[in-house]
Structure 1
Amino acid sequence: MLNRLDDYPVHQTPEPLAVLATSDRNAYDRTWFNGYAPDGSYYFGLGMAVYPHRGILDCAFSTVRPGQRQHCFYGSRRAPVERTEMAVGPFRIEVVEPMRRTRVILDDNETGIACDLTFSARTAAIEEARQTLWQNGRRVMDATRFDQFGRWSGVVRTPDGECRVDEAVCRGTKDRSWGVRRVGEPETGGAPAMPGGIMFLWAPLVWDDHVTHAIFFDGPQGQALVREGIVAPLYAAEADIPGTEDGRDQRMATARHRVAYVPGTRLARSAEIDLVGHDGAVRTIALEPLLRFQMKGLGYGHPVWGQGMWKGELAIGGESFDVAALDLLAPENLHVQQVVRATDGARTGVGVLEQVVFGPYAPAGFASFLDGAK
């Protein structure tokens, strides 16, 4: 099971790189990006992941504009042993320069959705703390993630028309993660799982000369499972980034969140994030949503095109839906990102707020799996 990467001195075990250190069937390795206009006039997201023990490589691209439908492309295939082969049908990701520049191409296809986009980094890579979640004594998530903030250029085409993406305008976030998390068809057999719940917030924000990032996982009672706040420098150009990691990211002592929900839903109406320094100083950031994007457009919770689900040797599909007409308490619609305007008093920034609350969550008054805010 050799591949091209085995010719580099990068091995972590005595096995070839195609042989994972874990036998967990939910092992994955994922590349994910978003891109958006600061005024909320468009948003696009894309992802590709390999699930070696499931034998699947899948991808998705989705975009939305105010007052228009959200358009979604999905692709899936049998995973190649060659890990540098990052293509599914008409969709491919090209790493032009690692940690610097990536090109994403979706050629014209039967869905009517296409793109040719280039991401150019404006930060060094920012490694989040390892995220490990347990359920009934089993590790259901154990992952490493790094983020980069940057700019996009290129074009997106949908049945509703063409969107030119200008590097002077379009911000974006790159998210690389790998490890183990629940994907694909649910496991069967054994005793029924005890019901639980989880709240997740993820808030990468861009300011004039720096970026901030906050990551939260809460348990059903609001207990802190993951709390992380980060501040890092923003560079004017890709060439200014001094290295893969620049050593200049500041890790906060902790972070806190407060979310106000749209009545009858689990969608954030507004939010505040506190970044708490080691000296006790608190920076409070207020978030105002501008545009909503449904994460099912990238396979998250999708009942048909869910991540890691076997679709055959090669399959592509697409759909478009009216975001405003969705039932926001349907399980597949709980997971969203919103383009947000950020303010902390003197400064204004922009970014996204990713959010999902499954099951009971006491701080919001959610008592069952799918009840909404009062």
Structure 2
Amino acid sequence: MMLTKGDDFPLHQTPEPVAYAGTDRNFYDRYFFNGYAPDGSGFFGAAFGIYPHLNVADAHFTFIRDGVQYALHASRELNMERFDLTVGPISIEVVEPLQELVVRVNGEGIAAELRFKGRAFPIEEPRFTFRIGPRTFMDYTRMTQNGFYTGWIELDGVRHDLAPGTSGTRDRSWGVRPVGASDAQPHGHGVVPSFFWQWTPINLPSRSLFFHINADRHGAPWNTRAVIAPDGAGHDALYETPSAVMEAPMEPGTRWPAGGTLTIQRPEGPLEVTFEPLVRFQMRGLGYTSPRWNHGLYHGPLEVEREQFVLADIDPMAPTMDNLHVQIVSKVTTSDGETGMGVFEQLILGPYDPYGLKEYFDHG
């Protein structure tokens, strides 16, 4: 399969590029963005999801300022129109498919205009298919792209322009994930759900690096790959390999990463990449694992809400588990002498033997 311009629009109805939706009520079609200044400050993120079988569209915008994470959430009825990329105060414009997009926000004292331009052709990740016992938990395709941002963010009338060189990552994914109201039916006797995820999109001076791993509770990868993408590269000029290993301890008392070292095997020898944590971002600001704003939940014809929380006050192991999912903005150094910025995303649910996690509320 190869990505086409059509894949940058929310037309997908199965995990394959542009096809019928089938009958799975958990089908979704999603945009994601993050960005940060060259020194790691000024982090922001945006997400926009469409759930055709649930008749819901939702969107989120969040950013960090002076140790506080601000978030704007919005949800509406989809009304069958998948090309309407607006949910209340948040909208997305696809200026040039696979290359340039704009996120606009204006509501509840939060406003922004953020223009993303890609550094290289998006990568298409291996298809994610995962089952818990007999039940399909995930079956989706994702494309990912690093790039640069221009624009501004305004909070309660105070506008900050993005720093020159602000970079980040955006992705598009479509297929099946748990969305909307949870399925209360148990998986079956003796089935213990677990999930392990790490993702590290990195911006270096002249290239992008990508790594991800999904592993089972015993640490065996069921989906993993690293990609090196030189600036301007087309889809046929990317170096891809499944031979990459991340070593990352957890911050004590949490399930958050405390830095790490990634080793990517290449024909010319291994590339070692080290992560120095700078800023922690809570993914609940984009709806991920949020009890109230989790993706696809029905809130009526239109609902908009502002949220904010002090990052230093977050309970890393809250019983609701909505603080487990994080992105750590990190300074990145490579063994061949480059420095750059990236994020280290991690989500661990349930047991994970390599870290000694036996129960849902074990921690590092």
TM-score with structure 2 setting the length: 0.91
Q: Deviations over 1:33-81 (max 9, x none)?
A: 111112121100001010101110000000013x431000000001132
Match of 2:126 among 129, 134, 137: 129
Give the 5 Å matches for 1:345-356: 345=335, 346-356=337-347
Q: Deviations over 1:116-150 (max 9, x none)?
A: 11111111111111111111122210111111111
Give the 5 Å matches for 1:304-319: 304-319=292-307
Match of 1:368 among 338, 359, 362: 359
Aligned partners of 2:55 and 2:80 also within 8 Å: no
Q: Deviations over 1:138-174 (max 9, x none)?
A: 22101111111111111111249432114x3200111
> Is 1:185 the equivalent of 2:181?
yes
* Rounded Cα–Cα distance in structure 2 between residues aligned with 1:191 and 1:355: 24
* Rounded Cα–Cα distance in structure 1 between residues aligned with 2:166 and 2:122: 19
Match of 1:290 in 2: 278
Aligned partners of 1:184 and 1:306 also within 8 Å: yes
* SS of 1:256 mapped into structure 2: strand
| Count of residues paired in the alignment | 349
Match of 1:323 in 2: 311
Q: Which amino acid aligns with 1:88?
A: V
Shift of 1:21: 3.4
Match of 2:249 in 1: 260
Match of 1:234 in 2: 231
Match of 1:72 in 2: 71
* Rounded Cα–Cα distance in structure 2 between residues aligned with 1:303 and 1:246: 38
Q: Deviations over 1:162-193 (max 9, x none)?
A: 32114x32001110000001112111346657
Match of 2:334 in 1: 344
Q: Which runs of 5+ in 1 are unaligned?
A: 236-240
Match of 1:335 in 2: 325
Distance 1:250 1:325, change over 3 A: same
* Rounded Cα–Cα distance in structure 1 between residues aligned with 2:334 and 2:275: 9
Q: Which amino acid aligns with 2:52?
A: P
Aligned partners of 1:227 and 1:256 also within 8 Å: no
* Rounded Cα–Cα distance in structure 2 between residues aligned with 1:12 and 1:53: 10
Match of 2:3 in 1: none
> Is 1:270 the equivalent of 2:266?
no
Shift of 1:105: 0.9
Aligned partners of 2:12 and 2:174 also within 8 Å: no
Match of 2:57 in 1: 57
Aligned partners of 2:61 and 2:286 also within 8 Å: yes
Q: Deviations over 1:291-326 (max 9, x none)?
A: 111000000000111111000011111110001101
Q: What value does the CA root-mean-square deviation take over the aligned residues?
A: 2.2
Aligned partners of 2:168 and 2:203 also within 8 Å: no
How many percent of aligned residue pairs carry the same amino acid?
Answer: 35
Aligned partners of 1:38 and 1:351 also within 8 Å: no
Q: Which runs of 5+ in 2 are unaligned?
A: 1-5
TM-score with structure 1 setting the length: 0.88
Aligned partners of 2:54 and 2:296 also within 8 Å: yes
Q: Deviations over 1:4-33 (max 9, x none)?
A: x9xxxx9999xxx7x833211100000111
